[in-house]
Every structure is written in C-alpha cells, then in structure tokens.
Amino acid sequence: MTRAQLALSAAAIAVLAATGGYGLAQLGKPSQPTGAPAAPGDRKVLYWYDPMVPAQHFDKPGKSPFMDMQMVPRYADDGPAGESGVRIDPAAVQSLGVRLASVQRGDFVQSLDATGVLDFNQRDVAIVQAKAAGFVQRVYARAPGDVVAAGAPIADLLVPSWGGAQAEYLAVRRSGDAALEAAARQRLTLLGMPAGLIDQVAQTGRTRNVITVTTPVGGVIQTLDVRQGMTVGMGQTLAQVSGLSTIWLNAAVPEAQGGQVRVGQAVRAELAAFPGESFNGRVTAILPTTQADSRTLTVRVELANPGGRLKPGMFAKVHLDGPARPALFVPSEAVIRTGKRALVMVAGDKGRFQPVEIQLGREDDGRTEILAGLSEGQKIVASGQFLIDSEASLAGVQAKPLGAASEPTTKAASALYESRGRIEALSAGSITLSHDPVPAIGWPAMTMTFKLGSPSLAKGLKVGDRVAFGFEQRPDGPVVRRVSPAGAAR
C-alpha cells in the first residue's frame, strides 16, 4: 500500500472509533423524560434587559449601558410579564414568611389623633374693680398665680364720699318716711355700695366708708394691680381671676384632616400627669384661622375640672372618634407607599403576585380604607410584600394602574360603593335616593334613581326611610345590591 492509502485507512479507523464511543456514551445515559424543558440554547428569547433597569428592553445581548454588568435574557416561556405578575416558588414564599390577608368590607370608624395643650377657659374670667374713688388701706396677702376661693378678700378701700351719703340716709331713716328712705337707699346703690353694706349701716346706725373688695368667683389670680396706700379711681381694675371649674384643651389638628372634625364631636384626652386615665369632653369650637408655620387648625375642647386637677399648660394626647360608615379596608401593614402612589401585592393562582395601584382613604386601628383599586374578597400580601415587590421590579412587572381593566386575580365580588340616604321614591325595579357623598367615585350629595338588583330588596322599606345601601357601577347605570334601614346590622 502507498503512503496515501495508509493515511486514509488510519483516518477512517479514527472516525469509526469516535462514533462508537459516542454511541456507547449515549447508551449509558438515562433517557430525557418527555416534556422536559428545553436547553437554554433552544428557548426563544424575547429581549434582553438590565435587572437594575427592567423596564428598558434590548434586541441583543451585551453589557448594560446603565450598569457595569451583562444583560439578562427574558424567554418566551417565562410567562407574560406585567399581565399575570411575578411567579415565586411556593417554597420560597414560605421561607420569606409571606402572610396573606383578605380585602374586607365593614363599618369603618373615623378616628383622628392629635396633640394639645391645656389653657384657661377664657369665658370664665372675673374682673375685680373699684366701685368708687378712694384709697387703699390694706392689701391682703395675695399674688398672681394664687388659687383663691369665691369671696376671698383682695383689698380694703377707704371711700370718703360714701360717709356723707350714708349719714344723710341715716337721717332720712330716722324721720320715719318710708318713701324718702327708699329714695335715699337707691342713692347709695347708685354710688356703688353693695346691698350688704347698706344693710349694715341701717342695722348699726353708723356710717361705714371702708369696704373690703372680694373676688366673685374661685380660681387663679391672673393679675393683681393694687398696692397699699395707692389711690384708685372709679372703675379701676384691681385684679383678674380665671375660674378652674372647666378648662380648655387646644388641640392642633393637621390641616389635611381638618374636614373630619365637627363641633360637638366626642373627644378623649390622655395626659402624661395621669397615666392610664382618660378625660372626656366635646369640641366646642374650631378656630377660623390656620397656623401658617405648622399648617394646623386649632380645635377647642372643653373639659370638666373637678378638684382643679387639670392645670393650664399640661400636654395632652387627643383622640377624636367620628361616626362609623361602611367601607372597604385592608391591613395598613399591607400598603406599600412609594411617595407618589400606594400599592398592594395581590395574590393570584399558582404562586403569582401582581402589584396593584390603589387609592387610600382613612386610617383607623391598623386598618386603611380603600377607595379604588381592589374588590372585596381579594387576597393581598400583608407581610413580606416588600421582598415580592423587589422581585417584581427585577422581573420588569409593572403595577396595575387605577382603573385598568384586567382579569381578576381571584374570584372576587364586584366593587361595591357604600353610602347612606333617604328614600324619595320606590318601585319593584328602582329606588330614588337623596344620598350622602360617595368619595370613592367623586360623587357629591345628590338625588338620583338606582336600579334594584332584586325586587326583594324593597321589601319592608317605604318612602321617607333613612337607609344604608351598597351599589355597583354597571355600563347601564348604578345597581343597588344591598339596602337596609340606617343603623341596622347587616
């Protein structure tokens, strides 16, 4: 054989050996089960993206223009991002400590917490004045800030003009003419003499031109402008006394929550000086000006003060409870606040989670009212939602905006809006109501006709009744789904 023939034979033997070895290796491997996922090289790539900027898509792989890292492919069999949410393995969900809660409907109490400071009741103030011109003979041991009882003496005044008038009165009284005596007594009253002093003059038959000035009410001496030896004129203020039987609590309510406060609303106050004790009162006034530096309204509350335990200047925590009304709510811990909007993570089927934008209402006792974005009965994530939200962001899942039409993640009831109103007209298929505002959909208070979801809803009702009702928005108009007399248990 020639050298060329030998080389060709050696090459053929090598090819046969390699082919046989590959066949033996394949025989030694277990067969791939039917339906196994394709190798990465066989999967269809939709686009590439930077995990730190998942919303930006690229047609080919490479280094991210945003971060110093390689872009990641998104495959066609990963599921529709942004529509069905992000899927998390159930084992991972359990390890993350995810806890679910339901969107519920029930009576929601308007509650508001604020801070306040105690102050004197400015309607309970007594001004002590001199009834006539005279001289201060004596000042009793009083000082501003002293607490005095009603009738406590302030100062003794010598009034020279009263001596002559009293002498004339005694002379007329000795004459026995009742008419002249009454006229003389009236003159003494007009000069400023109290009735008790005139009676003493009549009984003793002696003039008294020194009078003791007393406080008409009990309380705290705010000002004391009298000193021994000084001259006082008629009507001059000697002291000012503020009563302590009732006291004011001036609460600072944030401007954004000022619309929740009403005159007459019940208030509960807690003071650091009396731990574990509450003081009840009512809102007596909402001052008409707003504090420009703190953007707060001053709400005045009047509290009873038996024994004078409450002192002006004390700090208090104020709790205002408003009326209860039906509302849709979720646990406050489930809400993700981004600064521009509020989200919750809605739990779907097969371990999928979808971020949904919501509109928030009031908060009370760990619950937050939902005005739009959710329906009663949906499951949301109450614990661990921030980790799931981060995973959704990395996967490029966009939050479902308010008002977006999409399939529900759970079999939930249609959204019901709650209100109260008065029945103006009633028939088997419709009801006309003068209802309160519906903030969730921006409705003001008005009178309108609703369709009845069932004729049986009108049973037992009549024109003029006050009712609480729930309705849903339909393309052909609003439909009442439940109605009951106002205040009745549902």
Q: What is the pLDDT of residues 78-94, one digit of tens each?
A: 554 444 566 766 776 66
| Domains present along the chain, CATH in parentheses | 40-78 (no CATH), 86-107+325-394 (2.40.420.20), 127-238 (2.40.50.100), 246-324 (2.40.30.170), 417-485 (2.40.50.320)
For 159-264, strand residue ranges (E) read 210-214, 219-224, 231-232, 237-242, 246-254
Structural tokens at position 280 = 């009840």
296-304 and 278-291 beta bridge pairing: antiparallel
Which residue type does 408 have? Answer: P
Per-residue pLDDT of the chain (490 residues; tens, 9 = 90+): 566 555 556 555 554 454 444 443 444 444 444 334 444 556 677 787 776 666 678 888 888 876 667 877 876 655 544 445 667 667 766 676 778 888 888 777 767 888 999 999 988 899 998 888 889 999 998 899 899 998 899 999 998 888 888 888 888 888 888 888 889 888 888 888 888 888 888 888 888 888 888 898 888 999 998 998 899 988 889 999 998 889 999 999 888 878 778 888 888 999 988 888 889 989 999 888 888 888 888 999 999 988 888 999 999 999 887 767 777 888 888 888 877 788 888 887 777 787 888 888 777 778 888 888 888 888 888 877 666 766 666 555 666 666 554 444 433 445 678 888 999 998 888 899 998 888 767 677 888 889 898 888 888 888 999 888 888 887 777 889 888 887 543 3
What is the C-alpha separation between 312 and 454, in angstroms, rounded? Answer: 59
**pTM score of the predicted model:** 0.52
Q: What angle do CA 387, 388, 394 make, to 5 degrees?
A: 95
Q: What is the pLDDT of residues 267-311, one digit of tens each?
A: 899 998 888 888 998 999 988 888 888 888 899 999 998 888 899
Candidates 156, 281, 145; CA nearest to 219 is 145
Give the Å distances, CA to CA, from 67 to 51, 55, 64, 224: 9, 14, 5, 76
